Amino acid sequence: MAFAYAVGRMETGGVEEVRFPKAFAVSTVVLMFSSYLVSKVLPSFEKDNLLSMKDYLAGSLSLTLIFSVSQFIGWTELRQAGLYLSEAPAVSFLIVISALHLLHMTVGLVILVHYLLKTWRLIQDPVKNLVTSTNPYEKVKLEMFTTFWHCMNFFWLFIYFFFLFNF
């Protein structure tokens, strides 16, 4: 979609001056902190430090919710500037691409909540904790989640900087 935006922009000779939403800058910083917290989850699991793991997951959940709210605020900034989905191709691409990213982050959010609840249950049951922490499949699932999370954050960085410098 970014490629389609760039081609469309070249064909139309550019776009009118549109102010990039400041809320997207806030959401980018928040998402990077969330990614940092998720990067601490797997080492906590490997060290069998479930209390830290729970704290990192809860912190990342909170930051992801803040990210989601700031996305809506960014879209509101565009709307308050009189820019709607069908007004300008640049705005349409920005809204659609950021909405698709938020949709994918929602999937990650569901997985994040799952791991947070699972960790909370494991803290209360030492036997389940032992079985889970020694199961290599559980570690692989957690590695897949963290990889997904970091990929989503990388995609947002790409989207953010692409539109920041091309908007």
Give me the domain span that covers residue 55.
22-42+51-166
Question: Is pLDDT above 70 for 24?
Answer: yes
Q: Chain-wide mean pLDDT for the chain?
A: 87
Question: Is pLDDT above 70 for 13?
Answer: no
pLDDT tens readout for residues 131-158: 888 889 999 999 999 999 999 999 999 9
28-32 CB contacts, 8 Å cutoff, 24+ apart: 28/156, 28/157, 28/160, 30/63, 30/66, 30/67, 30/70, 31/63, 31/64, 31/67, 31/153, 31/156, 32/153, 32/157
pLDDT tens readout for residues 53-105: 999 999 999 999 999 999 999 989 988 888 777 767 778 888 888 899 999 99
Is 9 a member of any domain? no
Identify the pLDDT of residue 72.
93
Identify the pLDDT of residue 166.
77
Count how many domains the chain has: 1
Nearest-CA neighbor of 71 among 109, 30, 43? 30
Is 70 a member of any domain? yes
